[in-house]
Amino acid sequence: MTDELATIVAGLSAPQKIISPKYFYDETGSQLFDEITALPEYYLTDTELDIMKQHIDEMADLIGIEASLIEFGAGSSMKTRLLLEHLHSPAVYVPVDISEEHLLASQQRTKKDFPDIEVLLVVADFTHEFDLPDPATTPRRNIVYFPGSTIGNFEHDEAIDLLRVMYHEAGSDGALLIGVDLQKDPAVIDAAYNDSAGVTARFNLNMLDHLNREFGADFDVDAFRHRAAYRPDEGRVVLELVSAREQVVSIGGRQIPFARDETIITEYSHKYTLEGFAAMAEVAGFRVDRAWVDPAQWFSVQYCVRDR
Ligand code: AVJ
C-alpha cells in the first residue's frame, strides 16, 4: 500500500471518518469547483473579486515596484490577473502547486496575456517550505498571495503552520496578501454550500468516484448523500458524505463498515472574525497592516507584514 492510500484508509478507519479535501480535485472536481464559483449562492469568489477591484491601486502601491508574486496554488484566476495587470513592474510571478499539470495550464494562460512578465513554476506541496526559483530580475521583495479563503480548509494549528511557511517564503521585508472569509449570518453561509442547482452536492460526491478510479475503492456513489452545515460555535462549515444505508466499502484490501447515517467528513471551511484571523497571523509572525472588506463585511482581503 502506498503512504497515500494508507492515509486514506486510516481516515476511513477512525471513529469519525474523514478524507482530505484534496481528493475533490480530479478533472471533474476541478470543473465542478469552477461551476461553484459562478453560483449565485457562492458569494466568496465574487465578493473577493469586488474587494480586489475596489482597492487594487492601494494594494499595488503597498506592494511596490519589482516585487515577486508567489501564489500558493496554481493560480490564473481573475484575481491573479487583476493583480498582474496593476502591480508596478512585477519582477516575476511564481505559482506553486503540487500538480504540474495545473501549473502548466495556468502558465499558458498567464504567458499569453502577460508576455512581459516572467513566470516560474514551482511544483511543490506548499504546506512545507520549498526553494524559490532565481528570476532574471532580482525582486525587491516577495509577496505571498493566497486567495479564495483556502486557508479555511486548515484546522487552527495547521493554518498557523501554513502561515509560518508563508512567513518563511516571504523573507525579510516580504508580505502576505490573503483572502479570508468572515463569520456572518449562518443562513448565508449554509446557502453557499447547499446551492439550489446541486453543484456542491455533485462536487462532494465526486470525491467517491475519484477514490474508486484512483485508489480502486468500490464506493456506491448513489448510496451517499451530500451534507453541509455551518457550525457557528466552531466557526466552520463541515462538509460530509452521509451513508444512506448500512453498507461495507472495500479500499486498499480493507473492508470499511458504514452504519446508516454515518458520515465521512470531506472538508472544513473555516470562517473568521477579523480579530480571530489577526491573532492567528500574529502567532506565525505576521501583523495585519490592512484588511479590506466589502460593504456587508462578508469577506476580507488582508495585507500582512512580517512583524519580527
Ligand atoms: C476552495 C476551500 C475555498 O471552502 O469554500 C466550495 C471549497 N467547498 N464549496 C470553500 C468549497 C464547497 C472552497 N475553498
DSSP state letters, 120-182: --EES-TTS--PPP--SSPPSEEEEEE-TTGGGGS-HHHHHHHHHHHHHHH-TT-EEEEEEEB
Å from CA of 150 to ligand 1 middle = 7
Å from CA of 61 to ligand 1 middle = 30
Pocket-testing residue among 23, 31, 33, ligand 1, by greatest number of atoms within 8 A of Cβ: 33
Torsion angles phi and psi, residue 81, rounded to 5: -65, -40
For the chain, what is the largest distance between any 2 Cα atoms, rounded to a whole number of angstroms? 60
pLDDT confidence of 76, banded at 50, 70, 90?
low
For the CA of 192, the nearest atom of ligand 1: 9
* pLDDT tens digits along 243-260: 999 999 999 999 999 999
Å from CA of 223 to ligand 1 middle = 23
pLDDT confidence of 74, banded at 50, 70, 90?
confident
**Average pLDDT, integer, range 78-101:** 95
All residues at 6 or more sequence positions from 202 whose CB lies less than 8 Å from its CB, including other chains: 32
pLDDT at 163: 98
Closest residue by Cα to atom 10, ligand 1, is 269
Torsion angles phi and psi, residue 248, rounded to 5: -125, 130
Run of H or E residues at 119: none
**Average pLDDT, integer, range 31-57:** 97
Q: Quick check: 141 and 108 in contact, CB under 8 A?
A: no
* pLDDT tens digits along 103-144: 998 898 898 999 999 999 999 999 999 999 999 999 999 999
Handedness of CA 251, 257, 258, 263 (dihedral sign): negative
**Average pLDDT, integer, range 40-57:** 98
Å from CA of 153 to ligand 1 middle = 8
Q: Quick check: 215 and 8 in contact, CB under 8 A?
A: yes
Closest residue by Cα to atom 3, ligand 1, is 150
Å from CA of 203 to ligand 1 middle = 10
Residue with cell 502558465: 107
For the CA of 228, the nearest atom of ligand 1: 12
pLDDT at 105: 87
- Average pLDDT over all residues of the chain: 96
Q: Percent of the chain beyond pLDDT 70?
A: 100
- Report residues whose beta carbon is within 6 angstroms of any ligand 1 atom: 36, 44, 148-150, 152-153, 193, 200, 267, 269
Closest CA to 197 of 22, 77, 37: 37
* pLDDT tens digits along 167-196: 999 999 999 999 999 999 999 999 999 999
Å from CA of 136 to ligand 1 middle = 35
